[in-house]
């Protein structure tokens, strides 16, 4: 994979993302022209007065702005986490929820709704339970000796995720069917309809905190695709690097799920397309996955709020869009995923 092709793929992904951002701000029940959008953004940056309708400024800055920013952050985080997990586990079917982070966040959010807590408390519980679930998986895998550590980690994630899924089902069964159960079901399907500026500012530092170590350790993460003995022979402490990658990916995924609910397929499908464009080198794979993931979720969210008279849940729409894309990629990819 040449550097010129990698730069070209990055430029193409950036251009597509810019176009999707423009479309996302422009379309909807209250259309906004490109000129009005640029005027509002320029006013927000410079503080100068303008003669636009105040409704346009409200739509751009307070309604669509936080939603677009949330979609960009969450899509980028899930795609980056998926790329890191697939590289680390040497498995193209791995996604960010493989270690139970989505199931843990679901338990936390459902518990908050079940206890009739406010939105901030629900998001905090979702974030904390997501981190706690992966921590439990890691502790379980660390105590089991004599087996392949990656296999034990995945199996522990499956077991803990199944247990947490049963906890969610129990709380849904006990919830008030008129008030709590619809709210629980809506959250589990995923949505950005209630995204706020506070969500963006609270999520951004966590995303950066997860992305920075991935980027700094990018060449070592490449070596995790080798067998542990080979990686250690090249001077990589596989246990420490693997723990850092898991912590970073879990932090980003848990923060994303706490804001948007459970959204699947992004961390599974997007890294495959990024790998088709730039190859398996993680230093190129990570930034392209971030750009493609941000654009994918933003495009899906724009469809979710415009394609029908009612808003379609993101978890449903990502499955409808992601499934044929994954099947197409599976049919056209060359033998071997790296």
Is 105 within 8 Å of 258 (Cβ atoms)? yes
Asked whether residue 242 is domain-assigned, the answer is: yes
Q: Is residue 238 part of a domain?
A: yes
In this structure, is residue 108 part of a structural domain? yes
In a domain, 269, yes or no: yes
Q: Is the pTM of this model over 0.85?
A: yes
Task: Give kind and range of the element (H or E) at residue 122.
Answer: helix 119-143
Indicate whether 292 belongs to any domain: yes
| Other beta carbons within 10 Å of 167 | 16
Is 337 a member of any domain?
Answer: no
pLDDT band at 336 (very low <50, low <70, confident <90, very high): very low
More confident residue, 2 or 301: 301
pLDDT band at 5 (very low <50, low <70, confident <90, very high): confident
Does the residue 42 lie in any domain? yes
Q: Decide: residue 329, CB within 10 A, 0-12 exposed, 13-18 middle, 19+ buried.
A: middle
- Number of domains forming the structure of the chain: 1
Note the pLDDT tens digit of each residue in 15-64: 999 999 999 998 888 888 777 777 777 676 665 665 666 787 788 888 89
What contacts 190, CB < 8 A, 6 or more positions away?
260, 261, 262, 263, 313, 314, 315, 318
**86 located within any domain:** yes
Q: What is the CATH number of the domain that holds 105?
A: 1.10.3470.10
Q: Which domain holds residue 195?
A: 3-332
Lowest mean pLDDT among 23-27, 178-182, 266-270, 331-335: 331-335
What pLDDT is attached to residue 61?
82
Cα Rg of the chain, angstroms: 20
For the cut 70, the answer to whether the pLDDT of residue 196 exceeds it is: yes
**pLDDT, mean of residues 86-100:** 83
């Amino acid at each position: 994979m040449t550097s010129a092709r990698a730069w070209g793929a990055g430029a193409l992904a950036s251009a597509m993302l810019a176009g999707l951002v423009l479309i996302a701000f422009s379309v909807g029940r209250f259309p906004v022209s490109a000129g009005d959008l640029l005027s509002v953004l320029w006013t927000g940056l410079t503080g100068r007065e303008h003669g636009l309708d105040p409704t346009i400024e409200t739509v751009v800055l307070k309604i669509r702005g936080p939603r677009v920013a949330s979609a960009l952050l969450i899509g980028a985080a899930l795609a980056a986490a998926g790329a890191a997990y697939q590289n680390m586990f040497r498995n193209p079917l791995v996604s960010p929820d493989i270690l139970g982070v989505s199931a843990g966040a679901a338990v936390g959010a459902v518990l908050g709704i079940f206890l009739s807590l406010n939105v901030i408390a629900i998001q905090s519980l979702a974030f904390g339970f997501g981190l706690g679930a992966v921590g439990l998986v890691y502790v379980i895998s660390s105590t089991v000796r004599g087996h392949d550590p990656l296999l034990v980690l995945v199996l522990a994630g499956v077991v803990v995720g199944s247990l947490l899924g049963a906890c969610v089902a129990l709380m849904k069964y006990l919830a008030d069917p008129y008030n709590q159960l619809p709210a629980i079901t809506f959250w589990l399907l995923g949505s950005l309809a209630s995204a706020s500026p506070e969500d963006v500012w609270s999520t951004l530092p966590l995303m950066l905190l997860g992305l920075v170590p991935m980027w700094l350790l990018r060449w070592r993460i490449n070596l995790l695709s080798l067998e542990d003995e080979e990686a250690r022979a090249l001077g990589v402490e596989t246990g420490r690097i693997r723990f850092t990658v898991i912590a970073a990916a879990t932090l980003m995924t848990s923060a994303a799920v706490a804001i948007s609910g459970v959204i699947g397929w992004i961390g599974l499908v997007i890294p495959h397309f990024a790998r088709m464009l730039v190859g398996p080198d993680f230093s190129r794979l990570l930034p392209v996955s971030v750009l493609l993931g941000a654009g994918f979720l933003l495009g899906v969210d724009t469809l979710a709020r415009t394609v029908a008279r009612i808003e379609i849940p993101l978890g449903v729409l990502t499955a409808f869009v992601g499934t044929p894309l994954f099947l197409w990629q599976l049919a056209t990819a060359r033998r071997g995923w790296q």
